[in-house]
Amino acid sequence: MKKILFFLLLLSSFVHATNATIEVIKKVDALPTLALEDASINYDDTFRLQFFKSLVADLNVLALFNVDRHYLKNHFNSADVLLENNKMDYVLRYKLSQDDDGSLNVALLLLKEKESVLSKTYKIANKNVYMFLSHSIAYDINSFMGAASVDWIKKKVVFARMSEAKKSEIIIADYTLSYQHVVIKDGFYIFPKWANKEQTAIYYTSLDNGKPTLEHIDLKTGKVSKIYSSDGMLVCSDVSLDGKKLLLTMAPNGQPDIYSFDIEQKKLQRVTNYSGIDVNGQFLDNETIVFVSNRLGYPNIFSKNTKTGVVEQMVYYGQSNSSCSVNGEYIVYKARESSNAFSDNTFNLHLISTKTDFIRRLTATGVNEFPRFSRDGDAVLFIKNYKAQSSLGIIRLNHNKNFLFPLKSGRIQSMDW
Amino acid sequence: MKNVLFTSAVVALLALSGCSSKEPVVDAPVDEKVEQPVQEVEAVKTEEVATEDTSVLGENAANMSDSNEMTIANLEKELLSVYFDFDKFSIREDMQNNVANDAKVAKGAPANLTVKLEGNCDEWGSDEYNFALGLKRANSVKNALVAEGVDASRITMVSYGESNPVCSDKTRECWSKNRRVDFKLLP
């Protein structure tokens, strides 16, 4: 009996494997099934399929359903679900329609055992930003299911993309990077960071005039203001939750250290003073920062209490841990695990807690970099480079699942969520 | 004259494109009458000379600025990039000669020229850490130059991290070319 069960489990895992291409870590579990039924009018098949794919991807990322990937059409008011979907736990029926002014409308019906349990309508002015509608639908279905909030699904990502040597641009995107809008171009702009939780402004470094300069752009007005400039290097590594303090990495005398900058008082304070490299400062709590330092001869993750000055090594695993992101008690960091500097399978992401000795490896293959926590700590965004393919990855920490979205855009220099 | 030629070429192109956009060009009969569409063409490109540039100084001034640029270009050719090992910012034994040469060139250069050191890294490393590594490399070169007698106040530094590669292949040779400090002379 046990053998039969095992065989069935194995079989079902293969079925899943063919179904969910964006899933990296698969587990055999009993998630409810969900199928989609397109009842659209007005739009051509290409656009309908685009929308369908976006919705399937979003619903997958929720990690609440086994989402069926077959594209099927039905009438919106049909009393019955399609024959193929008879055995599905949930059916999501939706209708795309276009207004006279060109705006895109979506009517939505969630059916459970053929009974309507949720009905909603959406509207967006431009159909080219349909992915935001798709994210909103997933957000609402997640709320309806009573699952932990996925606020991050509506948040925007800002990143710098290299176009050629010493040329880069700053781009705002949705969390899957499928919508991209260039906000600053024709120059050398790097290390963008959201300036507030409303995501209405960005800090970034300009290397346009030779001297690294921290600038601030208000996205509503387009107004650019200079914040600080320094020889050598200048990076905004983190913005405090209230948006009033920055952690900067600067090197006014050729010595990279972490500085805290009070925006209102324009006050700069040096936080680290080791003679090697200190970078990537992240706020842990009111008193403590986490940062990357080579004080043991290789890059690793440390913390410093700014009141007492006590420095503590945070990570005891990995041979070269050169970047990190912090949320609450959790730190996600990038580690080089093999001692061969240039071998394949070199950089993986790991998660630690400041409260336990627990280390969890979050990725398994390729070069994984730029980890960024969502504000609520529910998910980690990162870039994976594996076999000449770059992808954007989302790690759902509580669901032990990674989702990958293939990227076409060039080399990403830095990213914030 | 060149400007005039260019401008008329642009006007001609714009006028032509204006005509052809009226009708599909596929198999259009040669003798078909094409009405001139009412279309606003792009403004003729002009060049404005700023007031401060309108005054023509003596021959000497022009020569001086030319010769200054030539001096910089010639001197920059003599300055040799300094290369580094993976994840290291100490100057390698085999790079000492390059540094000695660079110190000699920098000391011989006119005192009004600033030496700008640009630190660079390969793509292996993380964003901020890589920038700091590039800067520490520039700083090592600065210290070596100062030890050889170059005035520290004449030296500025900047790090470009991995964003200024000279080689973009995925090979060790290529990466080793990118782990370097370049020199620029600024007036």
- Provide the shortest C-alpha distance from residue A359 to chain B (in Å): 21
Whether residues B136 and A211 touch (CB distance < 8 A) is answered with no
Name the closest residue on chain A to residue B153, using Cα atoms. A253
The arrangement of strands across the sheet holding A359-361 comes to: A320-327, A330-336, A347-353, A359-361
CB pair distance less than 8 Å for A292 and B126: yes
Which among A265, A262, A314 has a CA at the least distance from the CA of A288? A314
Q: Cα separations (Å) of B102 from A150, B80, B98, B176?
A: 56, 6, 6, 20
> How distant, in Å, are the alpha carbons of A26, A296, B113, B142 from that of A211?
48, 30, 17, 17
> Longest Cα pair distance anywhere in chain A, in angstroms?
73
In a domain, B143, yes or no: yes
**B86, B159, B165 ranked by CB distance to A232: nearest:** B159
Task: Write out pLDDT tens, residues B158-171.
Answer: 999 988 989 888 78
Rounded-to-integer distance, Cα A175 and Cα A70, Å: 24
Tokens representing A364? 């398994």
Residue B122 lies in a domain: yes
Range of the domain at B8: 2-50
B116, B126, B170, B179: best to mutate for the A interface, most A CBs within 10 A: B126
> Residue A156 in contact with residue A147, Cβ under 8 Å?
no
* CATH number (domain holding residue A129): 3.40.50.10070
A386 with A362, same domain: the answer is: yes
Interchain pair A256, B136: CB under 8 A: yes
Tell me the pLDDT of chain A (417 aa) as tens digits: 555 544 444 444 443 332 222 333 444 468 999 999 999 988 999 999 999 999 999 999 999 999 999 999 999 998 888 889 999 999 999 999 999 998 999 999 999 988 999 999 999 999 999 999 999 999 999 999 999 899 999 999 999 988 888 999 999 999 988 899 999 999 999 999 999 999 999 999 999 887 999 999 999 999 999 999 999 999 999 999 999 999 999 998 899 999 999 999 999 999 999 999 999 999 999 899 999 999 999 999 999 999 999 999 999 888 889 899 999 999 999 988 766 655 555 788 999 988 888 888 898 888 898 899 998 888 999 988 887 778 889 998 888 888 888 887 678 889 999
Q: Give the CB-side neighbour count of residue A25, counting CA atoms within 13 A.
A: 17
* 8-state DSSP, A47: H
Q: Per the confidence metrics, is the pTM higher than 0.90?
A: no
Average pLDDT score over chain B:
74
CB-defined contacts A:B, below 8 A: 101
Structural domain includes residue B118: yes
Closest partner residue to B132 (CB to CB) among A231, A279, A369 is: A279
pLDDT band of residue B125 (cuts 50, 70, 90) is low
Is A15 contained in some domain? no
Chain A residues within 8 A of B87 when measuring between CB atoms: 298-299, 320, 341
Claim to verify: residue B91 and residue B40 sit in the same structural domain = no
Q: Answer yes or no: do A215 and A360 share one domain.
A: yes
Judging contacts by C-beta atoms under 8 Å, the chain A residues touching residue B167 are none
pLDDT exceeds 70 at position B101: yes
Contact: A279, B163; criterion CB under 8 Å: no
Q: Please name the member of A211, A237, A413 whose beta carbon is closest to the beta carbon of B163.
A: A413
Q: Is the pLDDT of residue B30 over 90?
A: no
Measured CA to CA, the distance from residue A393 to residue A415 in angstroms comes to 12
Q: DSSP letter for A23, please.
A: B
**Looking at residue B139, which CATH number applies to its domain?**
3.30.1330.60
| B180 and B127 both lie in a single domain | yes
Residue B126's pLDDT band, with cuts at 50, 70 and 90, is low
Considering the domain boundaries, does residue A285 fall inside one? Answer: yes
The answer on A162 and A131 residing in a single domain is: no
B129 and B155 inside one domain: yes
- Residue whose token pair is 């507030």: A196
- pLDDT at site A347: 87
Q: Of B128, B142, B165, which is closest to A235 when you measure between CB atoms?
A: B128
Give the count of domains, chain A.
2
Q: Which of A128, A147, A166 is the last residue of a domain?
A: A147
ipTM for the complex shown: 0.82
What is the SS3 assignment for B26?
A: coil
- B59 occurs within a structural domain: no
Last residue of a domain, one of A132, A147, A162: A147
The pLDDT > 70 percentage for chain B reads 63
Contact A210 B135 (CB under 8 A): no
Considering the domain architecture, whether residues B124 and B149 belong to the same structural domain is answered as yes
Q: Are residues A266 and A142 in the same domain?
A: no
- CB of A51 within 8 A of CB of A130? yes
Are A110 and A159 in the same domain?
no
The three-state secondary structure class of A407 is: coil
Do the chains contact at A279 and B172, CB–CB below 8 Å? no
B107, HSE (Cβ side, Cα atoms, 13 Å): 13
CB contacts of A276 in chain B (<8 Å) are 136
Cα separation, B85 vs B182, whole angstroms: 15
Q: Are both A60 and A208 inside the same structural domain?
A: no
Look at B163 and A188 and tell me if their CB atoms are within 8 Å: yes
Q: What angle do CA A127, A121, A140 make, to 5 degrees?
A: 95
pLDDT of residue A336: 84
Distances from the Cα of A341 to the Cα of A64, A204, A315, A346, A395, angstroms: 39, 30, 20, 8, 26
From the list B142, B156, B163, which residue is nearest A168 (CB)? B163
Between chains, do B158 and A165 touch, taking CB under 8 Å as contact? no
The two structure tokens encoding residue B141: 């070169």
B89 falls within a domain:
yes
Q: Are residues B100 and B46 in the same domain?
A: no
Q: What angle, rounded to 10 degrees, do the helices at B96-108 and B59-78 form?
A: 170
The CATH number linked to A273 is 2.120.10.30
Residue A19: inside a domain: no
Angstroms from B128 CA to nearest CA on chain A = 6
Note down the domain range covering A239: 152-416
Q: Could you give the number of structural domains in chain B?
A: 2
Asked if A190 lies within 8 A of B132 by C-beta distance, the reply is no
A85 with A177, same domain: the answer is: no
Long-range contacts of B72-81 (CB under 8 A, 24+ apart): B72/B113, B72/B185, B72/B187, B75/B105, B75/B109, B75/B113, B75/B185, B76/B183, B76/B184, B76/B185, B78/B105, B79/B105, B79/B106, B79/B183, B79/B185, B81/B180, B81/B181, B81/B182, B81/B183
Question: Residue B64: which pLDDT band, with cuts at 50, 70 and 90?
Answer: low
